[in-house]
């Protein structure tokens, strides 16, 4: 069976993943250090598989919702080790449930925060439209391409 199943065979260099997911090599190596990733090697060079890519995606998602790397690691570990260790799974189940609760709590907070900010914006707009309509117009522009903000807002590793 020579060349079937081509797709999942694709591999990635560290740079490719970094570009795709807007992170730095340093970060990927760091995740590896912490046991979140373990790409193959060709000589010394890291070679990331599709599965590695998927893991990375999960890592970043996790980060965005405020999970620590340690927590993400737990989840990840559990995910590809769904074999033996039923009791492991049981405790994991509890953890997951707890996590869901706190995440839903967070969703609450998030909604409230969004509303708060929105009404604040409205208030400011109203006030400005009375006093300085010019500034109001000026504030319309996003001023920059959508800042990812918070997590991963700075990028470099050789920005000079």
> Kind of pairing, strands 45-47 and 40-42?
antiparallel
Which one of a copy of itself, DNA, none interacts with residue 51, CB within 5 to 8 A by kind? none
What CA–CA distance (Å, rounded) separates 26 from 134?
44
Question: Residue 85 and residue 43: Cα distance in Å, rounded?
Answer: 34
> What is the C-alpha to C-alpha distance for residues 113 and 115, in angstroms, rounded to an integer?
5
Calculate the CA dihedral of residues 143, 144, 149, 154 and round it to 10 degrees. Answer: -130
Per-residue contact string for residues 59-88; x = within reach of DNA by CB under 7 A:
----x----xxx------------------
Which of 20, 77, 138, 157 is close enough to bind a copy of itself by CB under 8 A? 138
* 40 or 124: CB nearest a copy of itself: 124
DSSP conformational letter for 41: E
Q: Is 135 in the site for a copy of itself (CB under 8 A)?
A: yes
Whichever of 21 and 136 has its CB closer to DNA, that residue is 21
- Tell whether residue 8 is a contact of a copy of itself (CB under 8 A): no
139 touches a copy of itself (CB under 8 A): yes
The answer to whether residue 69 forms part of the interface with a copy of itself (CB under 8 A) is no
């Amino acid at each position: 069976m020579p060349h079937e199943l081509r797709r999942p065979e694709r591999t990635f260099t560290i740079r490719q993943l970094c570009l795709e997911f807007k992170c730095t090599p340093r970060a990927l190596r760091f995740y590896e250090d912490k046991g979140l990733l373990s790409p193959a090697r060709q000589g010394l060079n890291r070679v990331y598989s599709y599965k590695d890519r998927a893991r990375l995606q999960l890592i970043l998602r996790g980060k965005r919702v405020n999970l620590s790397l340690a927590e993400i690691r737990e989840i990840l570990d559990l995910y590809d080790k769904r074999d033996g260790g039923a009791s492991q799974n049981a405790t994991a189940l509890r953890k997951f449930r707890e996590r869901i609760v706190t995440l839903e709590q967070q969703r609450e907070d998030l909604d409230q925060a969004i509303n708060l900010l929105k009404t604040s914006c409205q208030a400011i707009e109203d006030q400005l439209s009375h006093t300085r309509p010019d500034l109001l117009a000026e504030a319309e522009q996003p001023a920059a391409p959508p800042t990812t903000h918070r997590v991963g807002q700075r990028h470099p590793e050789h920005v000079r």
